[in-house]
Amino acid sequence: MMEKMIFGRYIPGDSIIHHMDPRSKLIFVFAYICIVFLANNLVTYGILTMFTVLIMLVSKVSIRFFLNGLKPILWLVVFTFFLQVFFNRQGDLLYHYAFIRIYSEGIRQGIFISLRFLLLIFLTSLLTLTTTPISLTDGIESLLNLLKKVKFPVHELALMMSISLRFIPTLMDETEKIMKAQMARGANFSSGSLKERMKAVIPLLIPLFVSSFKRAEELATAMEARGYQGGEGRTKYRLLIWKAADTLSLCLLALITILLAVFRT
């Protein structure tokens, strides 16, 4: 089940996008999320789609894998589409049967909104697919540094983030291991009534929590033993380097934004 999900996973690769600075990628994605809402007609959606496809091609992540990974959330897209189709009452009446009325504007909006959805999902998952969790947290920490002025605990947040990200796969492995061990003892996770299923989770959750507590304690001890005393006065091992490609990508984004602003109706 979890094997199919592509959210938050990283695929090692060697494209330009893989080598970009995480800061520029983060800014890019954040800005992109905003400008997607500028599009409101055929031309602007066309520009956006072409742009997104281009980025996906540049990233060299296999499109087939992309589409496979999106299957679990496809129903959400389809659901929004039909919501629009059935409940939008603008434009010409195209079809009429009993209480179902389908209008041209409904279909148009349905397509546009599902497309907007897809574009957002594609680009945001591309961020995690091409950026290692570690450089992602480095990027976030560096972007949040401005907030230090208002006493925001940036270092602590970044540390917690990188530790959590580091332990997601470990915990997933552990979950699977415990699940299998309990299945070997006759536990059943995949059938039965809702109540039975909820009860079946206990033999999985308790060992997971217990081992997380142990792990946290061990990690804290190991960090202290290696001289960790908090964020003050630490130097950095991984340095973020802003390259030409990063500036270029943001310029490209600005260009697209201008195009969208010009062509939108």
Partner 1 sequence: MDIALEQVEYRYQPNTPFERLALHNISLNIPSGRYLAVIGHTGSGKSTLLQHLNALLQPTKGQISIGDRTIQAGTKEKNLKEIRQKVGIVFQFPEHQLFEETVEKDICFGPMNFGVPQEEAIKRAKELVDLVGLPKGVLEKSPFDLSGGQMRRVAIAGVLAMDPDVLVLDEPTAGLDPRGRHEMMEMFYELHRAKQLSTILVTHSMEDAAAYADELVILHHGEMKRKGPPREIFSHPEDLESWGLSVPHIVRFQSLLEKKINHKLGRTCLTTEELAGELQAYMNRGGGN
Give 166 or 177: the residue with its C-beta nearer to partner 1. Answer: 177
Is 181 a residue that touches partner 1 (CB under 8 A)? yes
Cβ neighbours, 10 Å, residue 103: 21
Spell out, one character per residue from 220 to 259, where the chain touches partner 1: x when CB under 8 A holds, - when not: ----------------------------------------
Is 170 a residue that touches partner 1 (CB under 8 A)? no
Question: DSSP states of the chain as a string?
Answer: -GGG--TT------SHHHHS-HHHHHHHHHHHHHHGGG--SHHHHHHHHHHHHHHHHHHT--HHHHHHHHHHHHHHHHHHHHHHHHH---S-EEEEETTEEEEHHHHHHHHHHHHHHHHHHHHHHHHHHHS-HHHHHHHHHHHHGGGGGGT--HHHHHHHHHHHHHHHHHHHHHHHHHHHHHHHTT--SSSS-HHHHHHHTHHHHHHHHHHHHHHHHHHHHHHHHTT---STT---SSPP---HHHHHHHHHHHHHHHHHHHH--
Is 210 a residue that touches partner 1 (CB under 8 A)? yes
The nearest distance, CB 184 to partner 1, in angstroms, is 4
Q: Which of 34, 92, 186, 193 binds partner 1 (CB under 8 A)?
A: 186
Give 41 or 188: the residue with its C-beta nearer to partner 1. Answer: 188
The nearest distance, CB 211 to partner 1, in angstroms, is 6
The nearest distance, CB 79 to partner 1, in angstroms, is 26
Is 177 a residue that touches partner 1 (CB under 8 A)? yes
Give 207 or 231: the residue with its C-beta nearer to partner 1. Answer: 207
The nearest distance, CB 222 to partner 1, in angstroms, is 18
Q: Which of 8, 37, 42, 62 binds partner 1 (CB under 8 A)?
A: 62
Place of tokens 């059938």: 191
Cα gap 145→154, rounded to integer Å: 6
The nearest distance, CB 181 to partner 1, in angstroms, is 4
Give 131 or 182: the residue with its C-beta nearer to partner 1. Answer: 182
By the criterion CB under 8 A, which residues form the site for partner 1? 3, 11, 62, 65, 68-69, 174, 177-178, 180-188, 202-203, 206-207, 210-211
